């Protein structure tokens, strides 16, 4: 019985960094606002895109889970590089961005449901 308690305690300690309370609501609200903005037209200026991606990055930085925050910020940095810094056009098709922003929304669900990171 003593070994079983040690096993349970050890398992709990190992899983502790993966679980916990994380507030995804500010990021979720910002994602929803950005999705709404993208649905209003067929293109978005690089300036507006950069502004919105920075807002999302700031919200993602406030997530307590380093795993979730790091993963989401990496995705946002990828989008910033691809569509803002390396894009020679002045605008971006919103249809391309909608896919990526929906992916971010799905990641929040994954972190909450599959990985047990509450928010």
- Mean pLDDT, rounded, for 97-117: 85
24-61 pLDDT, tens digit each: 889 999 999 999 999 999 999 999 999 999 999 999 98
pTM score, whole prediction: 0.76
pLDDT for 3 equals 52
pLDDT for 4 equals 45
Measured between alpha carbons, how far apart are the two ends of the chain, in Å? 35
């Amino acid at each position: 019985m003593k070994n079983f308690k040690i096993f349970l305690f050890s398992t709990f300690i190992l899983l502790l960094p993966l679980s916990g309370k994380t507030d995804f609501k500010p990021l979720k609200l910002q994602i929803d606002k950005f999705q709404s903005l993208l649905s209003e037209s067929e293109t978005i200026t690089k300036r507006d895109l950069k502004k919105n991606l920075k807002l999302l990055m700031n919200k993602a930085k406030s997530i307590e889970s380093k795993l979730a925050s790091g993963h989401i910020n990496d995705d946002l940095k990828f989008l910033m590089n691809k569509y803002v810094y390396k894009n020679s056009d002045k605008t971006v098709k919103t249809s391309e961005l909608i896919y990526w922003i929906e992916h971010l929304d799905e990641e929040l669900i994954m972190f909450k449901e599959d990985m047990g990171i509450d928010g």
